[in-house]
Amino acid sequence: MPHHVAILAYDGLCTFEFGCAVELFALERPELGVPWYTHAVCADEPGPLRALGGLSVQVAHGLEAFEAADTIVIPGWRDAAEAPSPALLDALRRARARGVRLCTICSGSFVLAHAGLLDGKKATTHWRYLDRLAQDFPEVKVQQGVLYVEDDGIVTSAGSAAGLDMLLHLVRSDHGVELAGRVAQRLVIPAHRDGDQAQLVARPLPSPGENGIAQLMDWVRENLRAPHTVDSMAVQARLGTRTFQRRFKDRTGLTPLAWLVRERVTLAAQVLETRPGLAIEAVADLAGLGSAESLRHHFRKHGLPPPGRYRSAASRLAG
């Protein structure tokens, strides 16, 4: 059966966050050639529901839609200080007890926090609300400045557009790197931004050397098998090493070496999906990770299953 997603609507609906979830899970994608998600929009309030921008939303399903869900998405919440209804909180607790994956965008994390489902778990929210989340729910392991974080089947993301990164992370987990890249291409967004990437970019305006860094990143992606160091990348970008490291971090939120490893892991995942006969050791060499042991280590650090299991899951999805 296709993976079924329940998307929560509510009065005062955050329109952008809701639209992100609908775009990912409600739009049919026959060109992908795999069984896509099914979805239901649901609410625990009678409609029509007001949405930001002067819109109104009529919802066909109540909270009973959670009972058939494999994933529940909470696209923001109208007020971080407002506790959701007992009915909604109880429905979320029952879904969690059944093993349903729970996901939030922006202030939607407060809904799960009110339900007690984030206690003892890593979680994040929009940078404006991080201190409030930590203060109001001290049992939550609040992650400062990340785009999204997953902990035991609960995925929380930062504000607005970071929700798209989180939702693409779900697609990668369910369908693999290559297919997620095709969806990102359709959306005209980056195929992969790590959850650990900073929410706030230190320099919103381009600075001298930015073009050199962009060209470097393109060149490295085409030559991931080659050896790279911070010094060699700085030379390629025509910058001093310290200046290069500072500007690279400002641009991406990552150190040059952390970005390099991420790109290599992404390539290795694509190779595992598309070249089933290639030995794991050869995959690691092709991606510039050196050895199968190194490949397994970096897959684990990036929250991916071991390479062999990843390949088997990709084969099942393709079949």
Give me the pLDDT at residue 115, please: 97
Q: How many domains would you assign to the chain?
A: 3
Same domain (yes/no): 120, 166: yes
239 and 216 inside one domain? yes
pLDDT interval class at 210 (50, 70, 90): low
The overall average pLDDT reported for the chain is 89
The domain in which residue 247 lies consists of 210-253
Q: Which of 319, 166, 286, 148 is nearest to 307 (CA)?
A: 286
Closest CA to 129 of 115, 117, 145: 145
Q: How far apart are CA 233 and CA 303, in angstroms?
A: 27
The verdict on 128 and 218 lying in the same domain is no
pLDDT one-digit tens code per residue, 43-84: 999 879 999 999 999 999 999 999 999 999 999 999 999 999
> To 5 degrees, how large is the angle CA 65–CA 67–CA 70?
95
In a domain, 200, yes or no: no
For the record, the structure tokens of 310 come out as 């990843």
Is pLDDT above 60 for 205? no
**Most confident of the ranges 59-63, 179-183, 184-188:** 59-63
What tokens were used for 1? Answer: 């059966």
Supply the pLDDT for residue 206: 42
Query: 36 in helix, strand or coil?
Result: coil
Regarding whether 146 and 8 lie in a shared domain, the answer is: yes
User: For residue range 133-167, what is the model confidence (pLDDT) as tens digits?
Assistant: 999 999 999 998 788 999 999 999 998 788 999 99
